[in-house]
Amino acid sequence: MTDPTRIWTAALIVIGDEILSGRTQDKNVAQVATWLNVQGIRLREVRVVADDQHAIVEAVNILRTRNDYLFTTGGIGPTHDDITVDAIAAALGVEVVIHDEARAILTDYYATRGGLTDARLRMARVPGGASLIENRMSGAPGIRHGNIFIMAGVPHITAGMLDRLTGTLEGGSPLLSATIGCWVAESEIADLLGATERAHEGCQIGSYPFFREGRTGANFVVRSTQQSSLDACLTDLTAALEQGGWPVTSGGI
**Considering only residues 154-193, where is the footprint of its own copies by CB under 8 A?**
154, 156, 175, 177, 185-188, 190-191, 193
Residue from 223, 225, 241, 246 touching its own copies (CB under 8 A): that is 223
Residues 6+ away with beta carbon under 8 Å from 94:
127, 128, 129, 145
CA distance 218 to 93: 48
Stretch of 73-81, 88-96, 164-172, 230-238 contacting its own copies, by CB under 8 A: 73-81
250 SS3 class: strand
| Cβ atoms 167, 192 nearer than 8 A | no
- Per CB under 8 A, contacts with its own copies among 92-121 are 110, 113-114, 117-120
Which of 57, 76, 123, 165: binder of its own copies (CB under 8 A)? 123
Which one, of 145, 141, 134, 133, lies nearest residue 88 by Cα?
A: 145
- Residues 70 and 11: their CA atoms lie apart, in Å, by 5
Stretch that binds its own copies, among 74-82, 86-94, 127-135, 240-248 (CB under 8 A): 74-82
Angle at CA 201, nearest 5°, toward 198 and 202?
Answer: 120
Q: How far is the CB of 73 from its own copies (least distance, A)?
A: 13
Q: How many residues bind its own copies (CB under 8 A)?
A: 71
Contact between 42 and its own copies per CB under 8 A = yes
**Site membership for its own copies, residue 21 (CB under 8 A):** yes
Quick one: DSSP state of residue 19? H
Q: Is 204 near its own copies (CB under 8 A)?
A: yes
Q: In whole angstroms, give the CA distance from residue 233 to residue 222.
A: 7
Examine residue 20 and tell whether it contacts its own copies (CB under 8 A).
yes
Compute the least distance from the CB of residue 36 to its own copies, in Å.
8
The stretch among 90-98, 127-135, 208-216, 226-234 that binds its own copies (CB under 8 A) is: 208-216
| CA–CA distances in Å: residue 5 to residues 67, 68, 126, 228, 229 | 16, 15, 35, 15, 14
Binds its own copies by CB under 8 A, chosen from 39, 67, 77, 141: 77
Question: Which residue's CB is nearer to its own copies, number 20 or number 232?
Answer: 20
